Structure 1
Amino acid sequence: MADLVYPPVIGAARTMFRMLDLRFDMRGTEHVPRRGGAVLVSNHIGYLDFVFAGLTARPSRRLVRFMAKDSVFRHRVSGPLMRAMKHIPVDREQGEHAFARAVQALRGGEIVGIFPEATISRSFTLKEFKTGAARLAQQAGVPMLPVALWGTQRLWTKGHPRDLRRNHFPITVRVGAPMEVAPEEDPTRATARLRSRVRELLEAAQQAYPGAPRDERDTWWLPAHLGGTAPAPRGD
């Protein structure tokens, strides 16, 4: 069945980003496979991360079906859009249904997006990863695709007001090479490998990021180890 809603939504997002004059530095998109299933795995620092992570697949003419909490699908505005774009609702009390649906999508050649930290990191550092991404890749027989986002927290994130009126924000994205998960590999070990790779990509994105705080009051979006005032990791 043709995707009648997803492409226009992407177009609307790109128009908004042009209006905001966001400055993208996106590298590694050639790693997104042009066909076949893959589990796209990203860090999670802002509410719009699914949009930015999804854009990494557009050069390969692919669409990403994200796994998201069920409440988003029950919202009167976002719900119809999420269903029309064939994203996958996750009921945490009955997660096996979402898992089975994601495996089916992967085996059908789709790219499924997942945020293995399960929630936004208030410290903007990596939280521990759940093993779901590795288990999905292993069961479906597809690779994991590591992605790191940086700068997206400045637009809209947990604990801070939405700030879509300010513009000229740099957004840095790094995509790594696909990572295979052997059938016999322990998912915990595969998850540790994945987290280590996402951390490397995140550090590369942070080092390349051109945006510096204007003054001491504008350091909230930087983690402490980068000289910012974001909460310590345990405060997530």
Structure 2
Amino acid sequence: MAELVYPPVVGLARTMFKALDLRIDMRGTEHVPRQGGAVLVSNHIGYLDFVFCGLTARPAKRLVRFMAKESVFRHRISGPLMRGMKHIPVDRARGEHAYAHALRSLRSGEIIGVFPEATISPSFTLKTFKSGAARLALEAGVPLLPVALWGTQRLWTKGRPRDLRRSGVPVTIRVGEPLRPGAEESAASVTERVKTRVQELLESAQRAYPVRPKGPEDTWWVPAHLGGTAPAPAPARASEDD
């Protein structure tokens, strides 16, 4: 079936990023499978993360179908776009429907995008990973593709105003080699393994990031353990929505 919405949206995003002169440093895209199903697993630090994760699959000429909360699909602007791009709505009260939808898509050869932290991490560090991505990979018999993003929080994130007019913001993206779950592995074991890999990629992206805070007022986007003023992980978990 022809993709009438997704390619134009990708083109619009690229045009916007070019207009903003975003400095996107994206490495590891050769690891994205050129065919067959896979579960893309990424950290979640900003509202535009799905756009940047989707870019990682374009060199392989693939499209990523993201699992996203149902409220996004009810929005008058984002809703038609999300449905047109064939993303998957997740109703937390009836999560089994989204799971079954994603499983069918994986078995038909699609790449499914999952943010296993479920919500944006205000601390910009990894929260606990939910096991859904691992369970999907195990049941569908497909690999997990670990991805780490850094810098996207500076554009638009939870608790901060959008800053989509600032030009020259660097965004660093790292894609790791696919992880193939063993037939006898548990979902918990696979989840821990992919979280460890995303953490390694995140640290690599942070080390490579070309910008440091310009002063005390510009440390909000840096995690506490790196000397910034983002909320420490424990308070961040306590304040976030379930």
> What TM-score, normalized by structure 2, do the two folds share?
0.97
Provide the C-alpha distance between the structure 1 equivalents of 2:110 and 2:182, rounded to a whole number of angstroms. 20
The alignment partner of 2:190 has SS state of helix
Provide the C-alpha distance between the structure 1 equivalents of 2:68 and 2:163, rounded to a whole number of angstroms. 23
Q: 1:15 maps to which residue?
A: 15
Structure 2 counterparts to residues 117-132 of structure 1, below 5 A: 117-132=117-132
Report the AA paired with residue 11 of structure 1: G
| Cα displacement string for residues 186-218 of structure 1 (whole angstroms, at most 9, x for unaligned residues) | 100110001000000000000000011111110
Provide the C-alpha distance between the structure 1 equivalents of 2:167 and 2:215, rounded to a whole number of angstroms. 17
Structure 2: runs of 5+ lacking an equivalent? 237-242
Q: 2:188 maps to which residue?
A: 188
Q: 1:53 maps to which residue?
A: 53
Comparing 149-158 and 69-78, the one that deviates more: 69-78
Structure 2 counterparts to residues 147-226 of structure 1, below 5 A: 147-226=147-226
Report the AA paired with residue 85 of structure 2: M
Provide the C-alpha distance between the structure 2 equivalents of 1:124 and 1:77, rounded to a whole number of angstroms. 27
Report the AA paired with residue 71 of structure 2: S
How many aligned positions are there? 236
Q: What is the percent sequence identity of the aligned residues?
A: 73
Q: 1:101 maps to which residue?
A: 101
Structure 1 segments of 4+ aligned residues over 3 angstroms from their partners: none
Q: 1:227 maps to which residue?
A: 227
Alignment check: 8 A CA contact 1:67 1:112 kept = yes
Report the AA paired with residue 228 of structure 1: G
Provide the C-alpha distance between the structure 1 equivalents of 2:97 and 2:235, rounded to a whole number of angstroms. 31
Provide the C-alpha distance between the structure 1 equivalents of 2:108 and 2:186, rounded to a whole number of angstroms. 24
Provide the C-alpha distance between the structure 2 equivalents of 1:222 and 1:163, rounded to a whole number of angstroms. 16
The alignment partner of 1:121 has SS state of coil
The alignment partner of 1:41 has SS state of strand
Does 2:9 match 1:5? no
| Cα displacement string for residues 154-200 of structure 1 (whole angstroms, at most 9, x for unaligned residues) | 00000100001111111000000000112321100110001000000
Provide the C-alpha distance between the structure 2 equivalents of 1:15 and 1:153, rounded to a whole number of angstroms. 20
Alignment check: 8 A CA contact 1:39 1:113 kept = yes
| Cα displacement string for residues 119-165 of structure 1 (whole angstroms, at most 9, x for unaligned residues) | 00000000000000000000111000000000000000001000011
Provide the C-alpha distance between the structure 2 equivalents of 1:74 and 1:183, rounded to a whole number of angstroms. 38
Over the aligned positions, Cα root-mean-square deviation in angstroms equals 0.6
| Cα displacement string for residues 82-104 of structure 1 (whole angstroms, at most 9, x for unaligned residues) | 00100000000000000000000
Q: 2:65 maps to which residue?
A: 65
Alignment check: 8 A CA contact 1:122 1:235 kept = no
| Cα displacement string for residues 45-88 of structure 1 (whole angstroms, at most 9, x for unaligned residues) | 00000000110000000000000000111111111110010000
